[in-house]
Amino acid sequence: MSCHTADVIAHHGVLENAVSFLQKPFTGVDLAAKVRAALDQQSRFWLRCGG
């Protein structure tokens, strides 16, 4: 979460590929979806690594 717009962050290369970004303003549904996606991504990582 950042006070900068996604365009500014992407333009300056501040955001890395593995970082989940949630642009403000967002709803509770948006937040829940982003958290779910991050957890699913982490689970896939551990499965690939044999964890």
Report the alpha-carbon distance of residue 5 to residue 27 in Å, rounded. Answer: 17
CA torsion sign, 37 to 39 to 40 to 44?
positive
CB 18 within 8 A of CB 1: no
Residue pLDDT, tens place only, 2-28: 455 556 666 666 556 667 788 889 999
Residue pLDDT, tens place only, 21-48: 888 899 999 999 999 998 888 777 667 7
Report the alpha-carbon distance of residue 29 to residue 10 in Å, rounded. Answer: 24
* Residue 27: predicted pLDDT: 96
Question: What size, in residues, is the chain?
Answer: 51
